[in-house]
Each structure stands twice: as structure tokens, then as C-alpha cells.
Amino acid sequence: MKQPEHGTLVRIAGPVVVAENLPRVSMYDVVHVGPMRLVGEVIRLADSLVTIQVYEDTGGLRVGEPVFASGSPFMVELGPGLLGAIFDGIQRPLPILRQQQGDYITRGGAAPALNRQKRWPFEPRVAVGDTVMGGDMLGVVPETLHLEHRILVPPDVSGEIERIEAGEFTVEETVAVIREEARSRTQRWEISLLQRWPTRHGRPHWGKLDPTDPLLTGQRVLDTFFPIAKGGSAIIPGGFGTGKTVLEHTLSKWSDADVIVYVGCGERGNEMTDVLEEFPKLDDPHTGGRLMDRTVLIANTSNMPVAAREASIYTGITIAEYFRDMGYHVALMADSTSRWGEALREVSGRLEEMPGEEGYPAYLLTRLAEFYERGGRVKCSGQNGYTGSVTLIGAVSPPGGDFSEPMTQNSLRVTGAFWALDTRLAHQRHYPAINWTLSYSLYPLSDWFSRQVAEDWPDQCQQARALLQRETELEEIVQLVGADSLAESERAELALGRVLREDFLQQSSFSDDAFCPLEKTYWMLKVVLAYYRQVTAALKRGLSLEQALVPALLDQIARAREWPPENAPAQARALIEQIESAFEEK
């Protein structure tokens, strides 16, 4: 009896549908549902029934309609044309779909992720007769002015170069042929600029390395107190309005990663619109070129189908791993992982699975761990000797700012840095609203800062954190008994803690102070601590606090954020001399 070519829909529950008698199907295979061939993914197999999560709106589907198997898992296209591109969660190019369909994407709409007509200049880096293996560089495509796109041998291919050509090619044309002799059998691999990779499988590498270098963000509170390593992971939890999205935008603009992958996972449409409109207009502070030349945007807004949020996360991490394999340092911003967790919860509920805490599926931690584990600093496959990294920074949106909820707590267990946003600080217009008493970083980077910035960097950071902690303790006392009950030395700590908080930690993302180089950060902190030491010494000599707090000097300290970075060391030294001179006269 001939096997049917397609299955049949027997149940529809929102984004989850069930088909029966679907031939030749495996877990996580892509299927096409209904006459419009909506994209879906197999998430459960039981006898003749196949459960599918559909990445598009299922409105209008009817029981009895056909379901077609594709025979392969969900895969993304990798190659020249990724940088500067804007995709949806299943890697459909949004600008192309807009040209085809207008402002609203129709269901079942499709377009190749990478341009099939554009020709790219390919420059070989190996010659005929060379032996290559998976991960080796065959050649380069100068995709942007400041970043070369390295064309690598696919991970499962090895052998001898039989043919390789220079010239201009589309992504589908063959640029090289690799001949493999195995067991008296010859196999030839035709290599193009385009590769495909299943999103749920991490790309191979030769092992993870210890994180040794920080990802510099240009944000003083992070670089000073809570640095993250390249290849590390961090979460940014915070209630509504605390600035999670603004901070992720800021990190995308200013961090010193080679490539940025920004995933808007279930975020509001107006926030993604800001990204899509603003990023193409920005200059890259590290290369002088366009910021979009090192950025890949994945837009999956909250009004898009829920199931596609999971696809967007895996699409983003696979693209990040692809650039990591070229030896680049990649930063992936996921905004927000809570929306992904909500999608898991909704799909799990429709599958009638046993719920865990607050209705999240019992495997929430496993999914989070699998995602964050794909970050890291690695020794790349191949003979090139490359090391690359993927740094993962995920925003978390706990309801009501409650950090004890499951998404925050489970994310804490698998990440190395915790940047807690404080609603109280946000209401005080203190940005970034990072709470310096709750936040932490587990990455031991003090030695790097001592070598690359200054030997006393760790000591300065420790003194500053101690002052901030002391100010927090004194503020609690003031709220109970008033400031008049404090000794003058304690009032000095309160005043200088406020200077450190307002003039050093605060940093507007919409001003020239949005990015602060590490050297300027060091000298700004040095000035504040020098003033604190002079005030403390003056009080011990018998001066009153009113005499020690010189308004003119405090005003100059507050204006330190306006220093041009190249002049910061000289201006800081001059201000420190002025501070010392002013106190010598008292």
C-alpha cells in the first residue's frame, strides 16, 4: 500500500496543532501546515500522532487540512549578507518581505534569508593540493570595510583542494571543490559561500577556554564594579521602566565585540522600531564605520506568534556561533528571555504537561542552561589557530520587579554576572539604574585591569565599593533618626558617596557621556577618591565638614564626565593637584 505524501490535521490549539499519519518525520523537523504552508516544528511524537508548534498565526486552519514534512530540522542560512541584515524569528528578511507584501507580513510568506542575486568578491587563502579540514579558512569575502567574512570548510568536510577560484560569486555558486579519499572511495564536496546549520545543535569547536579578557562596555558602573568576560554570560533583571532595553541598546552600540547579534524576543513593537530606525544611522565608535556593518538584528515582537520566540533565540545563537568560528568575539543581546519563557509556558500548557513553579514547564532550567552553555570562549575548529567567543547578555522581566520569580532565579544559576536594575533608582532618574549592592560578577578580571589599565585599579574599585556600601548603610540610619544624629565623619561619607553615585556612576545614554573609555573611567574614579581622602584627613585635623566640602571643587568633579577622553589623564592630574593644594592651605 502506497504511503500518503502528507499528514492530516486532527487538532488545533492556538500555536500547537496535531497531525496524524505524517510520513518520514523526526523530532524538531520543520513541517508546513495547511494550504498556506505555515512553518512549524515537530515537538512531540506519539504513535501516529505528531505534535507541532507553528511559528505563524494558526487562525483559519481547519481539521482535515494537509501537513507536509520537509525532512530536515529548522536550519538557518549562514554566509555573506548576514551583517547589516534584519530578520524575523525564523530568519525571513523583513526588508524583502516588506517590498513584496507591504507593511504587514502575510502568513506563509517566504523569502531566502541571503540575497541570491548579489555577487560577492571571493579571495582564496588556500591553493589546489592543500589538505584542509572542517573549520579551516578557504578564503575571505570583504563583506564590510572593517570586517572580513571568512569562508570556512564545513565542519563535516575534509580532504584535498581539487579546485578553488577567485572572482565574484553568488552565495549558491561553487567556489571550491574538496576531494576526500576514504576507504578506496572518492567523494567530492562542492563548497559555496552559503552554509546551513540546524539551530538546536551547537556548532563544534575544539574545547572551551578560560575567560581572560573583559568585554568592555563603556559603562562605568559595569567596567568598574561588575565586568563581564568575553565568552561570559550575564542577565539584566528589572521591573517595568527600569531601563533594560535602553541598557541592551547601549551595550550593542558601545561594547568592543567584533559582531553584535541583537534578538528582540517578544518585545514591544515601538522598542524594536527604535532599534531598526536608530542603528542604521549610528557610527561605530570602534571602527569609524557604520554600526550596522557589525550588527545582525532579529526582530520578533510581542504581536508576532508566540512559538516564534523560541525560534528567534536559537536563530540568534547559531548566527553568533558562526561568526565565533571565524575567530571573532561576538556579543548576543537577548531582549528579553522572559518572553521566551512565557512562550515555553504557553506551549507547555497547550501540551497539557505537568506545570512547574508559576506554571513554567519543569524543563525551564534545562532550556536556559542549554542556551547559555552555547556561549563561551573557545578554540575554534580547524588548523587556523583561531579563538573566538560568544558573550550572552539576556534581559529578564520579572513581574513587579520580583527577583525571586522562576525566570530570574533559574537564569542566576547558569550565568556569571548579575546586573540588577532598581526601580527606586530609575524613579530617581539614575541611569543605568544598576543596584550596586545586589549586583555581582563572578569573573576574575582584576589581573587584566592591573596589567592593562593601572596597578591600583583593583584597590580603587574596592575603596569605591566600600564607600558606596557605607553610604547605603548611613542612608538607612538617616531615614530612621535623621542626619543630625551622624558624626561629621559619617556625614562626609554620606556626602562623598553621593558624589561617587551621581557624578561617576550616573551616565546618560543620550549624551556624549554615553561611552566612557577605560582610561577616562580610571582617572574619574581616581579624582573622586583623592577628594574623599583629603576630606577625611581634613576632618581629622579638626576642620568642619562645611569647610572641607569646597563647592568649586565639587563642581569640577561633576564636570569630569565632559572631559574629552584624550585629555582626561592630564585634566585629572591637574584637578588632583588643585585638590591637594586647596587642602594644604586649610
DSSP 3-state assignment of 383?
A: coil
Cα separation, 575 vs 525, in Å, equals 12
pLDDT of res. 291: 86
Q: What is the mean pLDDT of residues 407-422?
A: 96
Whole-number Cα distances in Å, 362 to 275, 404, 425: 34, 17, 34
- Predicted pLDDT of residue 276: 78
H-run or E-run covering 572: helix 568-584
Distance (Å, rounded) from C-alpha 403 to C-alpha 529?
Answer: 33
- pLDDT of 127 strictly over 70: yes
Q: Is residue 370 within 8 Å of residue 233, measured between CB atoms?
A: no
Rounded distance, CA 352 to CA 12, Å?
Answer: 13
Q: Collect all residues with Cβ–Cβ distance below 8 Å to 437 and sequence separation of at least 6.
A: 468, 469, 472
Query: 47: helix, coil or strand?
Result: coil
CA distance 148 to 150: 6
| 280 vs 276: CA distance, rounded Å | 7
3-state SS string for 514-567: HCCCHHHHHHHHHHHHHHHHHHHHHHHCCCCHHHHCCHHHHHHHHHHHHCCHHH
Our CA angle for 472, 478, 482, nearest 5°, is 170
Q: What is the pLDDT of residues 203-230, one digit of tens each?
A: 999 999 999 999 999 999 999 999 999 9
Phi and psi angles of residue 556, each rounded to the nearest 5 degrees, phi first: -70, -35
Q: Scanning the structure block, which residue is given the C-alpha cell 546551513?
A: 196
pLDDT for position 4: 52
Phi, psi for residue 463 in degrees, rounded to 5: -65, -40
One-letter amino acid of 235: I
The DSSP string of 72-96 is: EE-EEEESTT-TT-EE-TT--BHHH
CB atoms within 10 A of CB 523: 20
Residue 585: strand pairing partners: none
Cα→Cα distances 337→83, 106, 243, Å: 23, 26, 15
Q: Which residues contact 16 (CB under 8 A, 6 or more apart)?
A: 43, 51, 52, 53, 54, 307, 347, 350, 351
Please state the pTM of the whole predicted model: 0.94
Q: What digits encode the pLDDT tens for the residues 534-571?
A: 999 999 988 888 888 889 999 999 999 999 999 999 99
Residue 270 has pLDDT above 50, yes or no: yes
CA 318 centroid distance within chain: 13
493 has a pLDDT exceeding 90 = yes
Query: Residues with Cβ < 8 Å from 241, sequence gap 6 or more?
Result: 423, 426
End-to-end CA distance of the chain: 103
Antiparallel, parallel or unpaired: β 417-418 and 440-441: antiparallel
Is residue 419 scored above 70 in pLDDT? yes
Q: DSSP string spanning 114-139?
A: S-SS--EEEEESS-TT-EE-TT-EEE
Confidence of residue 135 (pLDDT cuts 50, 70, 90): very high
Q: Using CA atoms, how far apart are residues 557 and 543, in angstroms rounded to an integer?
A: 21
Segment 272-290, tens digit of pLDDT: 777 778 888 888 877 778 8
Measure Cα distances from 216 to 19, 22, 84, 295 in Å. 49, 50, 22, 17
**pLDDT number for residue 574:** 96
Q: How confident is the model at residue 2 (pLDDT cuts 50, 70, 90)?
A: very low
What does the pLDDT average to over 222-245? 95
Instruction: Give me the pLDDT at residue 322, please.
Output: 97
Of the candidate ranges 41-55, 102-116, 361-375, the one whose mean pLDDT is the lowest: 102-116
Beta bridge partners of 362: none
Cα(316)–Cα(300) distance, rounded to whole angstroms? 11
Q: Which alpha helices (DSSP H) does 200-307 contain, by range?
A: 220-225, 244-254, 269-278
pLDDT averaged over every residue in the chain: 92
- Report the side by side order of strands in the sheet with 149-152: 149-152, 137-141, 120-124, 167-169
pLDDT of residue 98: 87
Average pLDDT on 39-60 reads: 93
Neighbouring residues of 14: CB distance < 8 A, sequence distance ≥ 6: 58, 306, 346, 350
Which cell goes with 508? 546618560
Per DSSP, the three-state class of 107 is coil
Domains, the chain, ranges and CATH? Answer: 7-73 (2.40.30.20), 82-101+204-443 (3.40.50.300), 120-195 (2.40.50.100), 452-584 (1.10.1140.10)
pLDDT band at 586 (very low <50, low <70, confident <90, very high): low
Bridge partners (DSSP) listed for residue 122: 167
55-108, pLDDT tens digit by residue?
999 989 999 999 999 989 999 999 999 999 999 999 999 889 888 888 777 888
Q: What is the pLDDT of residues 427-486, one digit of tens each?
A: 999 999 999 999 999 999 999 999 999 999 999 999 999 999 999 999 989 888 888 888
Is 271 a residue whose pLDDT tops 80?
no
Q: How sure is the predictor about 52, in pLDDT bands with cuts at 50, 70 and 90?
A: very high
What percent of the chain lies above the pLDDT cut of 70?
99
pLDDT at 1: 36
Grid cell digits, residue 368: 536556559
pLDDT more than 90, % of the chain = 75
Could you tell me the maximum CA-CA distance found in the chain, to the nearest angstrom?
A: 103
